[in-house]
Amino acid sequence: MSVLYTRYFSALGDYQSNSPIDDRDIDGEFNSIVTALNRKVLCSGSAPSTPISGQTWVDTTNKILKVYRNNEWVGISAVHVSGTAMSTPQEGDLWYDTANNLLKGYDGSGWSGVANFAAPGPIGTSSASSGKFTDLEATTSFKLGTAHQGDVIYDNGTSLVRLPPGTSGYVLKTFGTSANPAWAATDVLSNVIFCWNGAIGSDNNTSFVVGAAVTLNDLFGGGTRGYSYWATKSDAYQTILTSKFRKVAGTNTITIQGLLWTKGNITATLKVDIGGQNNTVTRTNSATPTWATSSDIDVSTLTNGTTYAITIQMKSSLSGDPNSGYCGGIILIAS
């Protein structure tokens, strides 16, 4: 028999035996009801000591409504708030992981991140926690409307537009704040260690210009106008000049650039020797001053810190008039 029926028959017996029902009986009954209700909904800063399944408790310390389920107290607010996951979650449960500032959902087999409330890091960080907006795969492609390798995207003042790849060796050139960029040929040589313009005699210890940049058109004036030059009608090498080269670590190759042309159907040859290592550049049957195809001198076997002689010579493939070979400029580039 339930407690309620027991109390009912007890009160009925008192009535039949003419026992008066006084205020103590009413208070006692009321207290019993309150006690029973408190076992269903309890407002307290600490959990009930002897909870029953289905009992609810307003945790006044953390301001959370909880229910006793499967031998543990579980928050039944919008989200279960705790540093650890509930041990018996059900599909659809939400848990705010206070240890990682991460809102998680239970899908029936495990917890998955739903949202992260920590301060966001930069997009694409590799150490982001699961569920963060920053957790981008390293292999994820991030494109701006183009799938062409080598494209450049720039703002034309109205929208982002595509600049297709330019010619191999060209550089991207800007034309100021009110114009669009474009690909352009470069006329600048870097890492120049030696340059000479025109015939300046022999045995000249020209100072080296280390790390400088020489613009070809500026150096030689462009075209055929304004050249001073060395000319030879001999088929034996004639010395144009000599100078010095100091080998430094990291310099293994010297590239020869020669501005050559000819008079007559002959070949003009320019030879550069550095410490016994040498190579040549040539130009055949060309009346227009032109930069010959460059060639390299291997200086990797020379000793670092040692100074070597540079000897620059020139010859024509045939001797005598009207055959002449000409040199209007020399540039040596280190790499």
Share of the chain above pLDDT 70, in %: 65
119 falls within a domain: no
Output 294 or 116, whichever has higher pLDDT: 294
- Given a cut of 90, whether residue 254 has pLDDT beyond it is yes
pLDDT tens-digit map of 44-98:
888 888 888 888 888 888 767 888 888 888 877 567 888 888 888 877 778 888 8
CATH code: domain of residue 215? 2.60.120.260
The answer to whether position 199 is within a domain reads: yes
Residues 234 and 179 occupy one common structural domain: no
Distance CA 11, CA 5 (A): 10
pLDDT at 105: 85
pLDDT-derived band at 128, boundaries 50, 70, 90: very low
Q: Under 8 Å CB-to-CB from 37, ≥6 apart: which residues? A: none
Q: Are 244 and 286 found together in one domain?
A: yes
Has residue 108 been placed in a domain? no
278-284 contacts: CB < 8 A, separation 24 or more? 280/256, 281/256, 281/257, 283/258, 283/325
- 308 and 215: one domain? yes
pLDDT at 293 over 70: yes
| Secondary structure of the chain as H, E, C letters | CCHHHHHHHHHHHHHHCCCCCCHHHHHHHHHHHHHHHHCCEEEECCCCCCCCCCCEEEECCCCEEEEEECCEEEECCCCEEECCCCCCCCCCCEEEECCCCEEEEECCCCEEEEEECCCCCCCCCCCCCCCCCCCCCCCCCCCCCCCCCCCEEEECCCCEEEECCCCCCCEEECCCCCCCCEEECCCEEEEEEEEECCCCCCCCCCCCCCCEEEEHHHHHCCCCCCCCCEEECCCCCEEEEEEEEECCCCCCEEEEEEEEEEECCCEEEEEEEECCEEEEEEEECCCCCEECCCEEEECCCCCCCCEEEEEEEEEECCCCCCCEEEEEEEEEEEC
Query: Where among 161, 184, 207 does a domain terminate?
Result: 184
Number of domains in the chain: 3
Is residue 79 within 8 Å of 103, Cβ to Cβ?
yes
206 neighbors 198 (Cβ within 8 angstroms)? no
Q: Are residues 206 and 262 in the same domain?
A: yes
Q: Percentage of residues in the chain with pLDDT exceeding 90? A: 13
Domain extent, residue 321, equals: 189-334
Same-domain check for residues 304 and 247: yes
Between 246 and 322, whose confidence is greater? Answer: 246
Please tell me the predicted confidence (pLDDT) of residue 30: 60
* Choice between 124 and 309, residue whose per-residue pLDDT is larger: 309
pLDDT attached to residue 117 = 58
Average pLDDT, the chain: 74
Same domain flag for 179 and 241: no
Residue 242 within a domain: yes
Average pLDDT, integer, range 161-175: 84
Q: Six-digit token pair at 91?
A: 């599909």
Structure-token pair, residue 329: 């400029």
Residues 214 and 255 in one domain: yes
Q: Which residue has the higher pLDDT, 305 or 175?
A: 305
207/164 same-domain check: no
Q: How confident is the model at residue 309 (pLDDT cuts 50, 70, 90)?
A: very high
176, 243: one domain: no
Residues 270 and 166 reside in one and the same domain: no
At 189-233, the pLDDT tens digits run 668 888 877 543 333 333 222 233 333 333 343 333 344 677 788
Specify whether 170 is located in the same domain as 195. no
Residues 168 and 257 in one domain: no
Please give the Cα distance from 55 to 67 (Å, whole number). Answer: 6
Q: What is the pLDDT of residue 89?
A: 81
